[in-house]
Amino acid sequence: MTENQKSKSRKEFLVEMDDILGLSAGTLRGDENLEELENWDSTALISLIVLAETSNNVHISPEQVVGCSTVADLLRLAQVDGSST
């Protein structure tokens, strides 16, 4: 990511996660448990890591992702703006 590129907002990141999970845009709110999401699997996990790298320039490891239990945890890991509040 270049310096001029802006990190994705929480809303934008959630919409991209909707894409990854095959959900309609606007479905995820952030408080969902990962284990309740039907399409949360290894390919979704890899897509999420790529998304964090390319969108937010944040490198996260699969082990860190596996340690998450909610969508909000993932947002914090990917350092999405406003996710730590």
Residues of this chain that bind another protein (CB under 8 A) = 16, 19-22, 39, 42-43, 46-47, 49-51, 54, 59, 61-63
Smallest distance, another protein to C-beta of residue 21, A: 7
Q: Looking up tokens 């999420």, which residue turns up? A: 48
Structure tokens at 17: 């996660």
Smallest distance, another protein to C-beta of residue 58, A: 13
Cβ atoms of 71 and 34 closer than 8 Å: yes
3-class DSSP assignment, residue 70: strand
Smallest distance, another protein to C-beta of residue 8, A: 12
